[in-house]
Amino acid sequence: MSVVGGPLMARGRQLGLMLLAGLLAACAGPSTTVPIDDRSRGGQRAQTAQQVTSGQHTVQRGETLYQIAFRYGWDWRALAANNNLNAPYTIYPGQRISLRPGTAGTPARTTQTARPATTAATSRPATTPPRTTAPATQPRATAPAPASRPATPAATPASPSVPSRVSGWNWPAQGPLIARFQSNGSLNKGIDIAGQLGQPVKAAADGAVVYAGRGLIGYGEMIIIKHDDTYLSAYAHNNRLLVNEGDQVKAGQVIAEMGSTGTDRVKLHFEIRRRGQPVDPLTYLPKL
């Protein structure tokens, strides 16, 4: 028994060591995607810094085109054009927004009692039956179908009046810089500024609020401001929002109170996006 058991035990130990080495190698290997900080409940996960160019998004109630474009790294105008959406860019629950360039999305299904508000209801003209020499009976006229009620849109992005270009940028909050922009598609698409609970968060430039809510996992209570046709800025992890969608704001105006929603400490996560893509805010903000 000892003669047979020795080789078997040695082979078992060798196999165990091989399995352990493989497991450690797998754990140490790089991940193909790096999700954003995911500590909030509800909402939808934001993507990495690269633009998503495959698949489609099904519109949920309460979403806006700006929010969807921000989530997938698209410029909102390009996403609208890619899906044949015209002003005022009304979208509906169940509508499919294509993320693949050059392909139009699928509009929401409509029924006889639910039709998109942007689509005019048309009625088919009645056909006149041919006259016979001696008709036995006159055909009974049919009453026209009642007008269709428009469906309730999921959301209509504000069409704000914004400057033709950004005149200058200001720091959105005071405090130490605790995280910098990373351009390699990893976690941080902006900068993080530490502060105290309830500390003022200010608009970095003139513009209009195009999103205010908690719809993206990892951002908590967030505000997105459109500054012109090129630039958006985002303010995340707020404790309380002080502006609403459609509000016009000025540079330096208090728009929120700093908080820790969607993260593990009180801080402001600030992003600047140029044509939908994250850029380093430190190249735009005044030097400290």
Q: Where are the domains of the chain?
A: 177-283
Read off the pLDDT of residues 161-195 as tens digits, 9 standing for 90 and up. Answer: 555 567 789 999 999 999 999 876 556 789 999 99
C-alpha 190: how far from chain center: 16
Question: Which pTM value belongs to this model?
Answer: 0.62
What CATH homologous superfamily does 177-283 map to?
Answer: Glucose Permease (Domain IIA) (2.70.70.10)
Nearest to 157 by CA among 253, 58, 61, 63: 63
Residue 62: predicted pLDDT = 82
SS3 of residue 237 by DSSP = strand
Tell me how long the chain is: 288
Cα(168)–Cα(18) distance, integer angstroms: 59
pLDDT of residue 126: 43
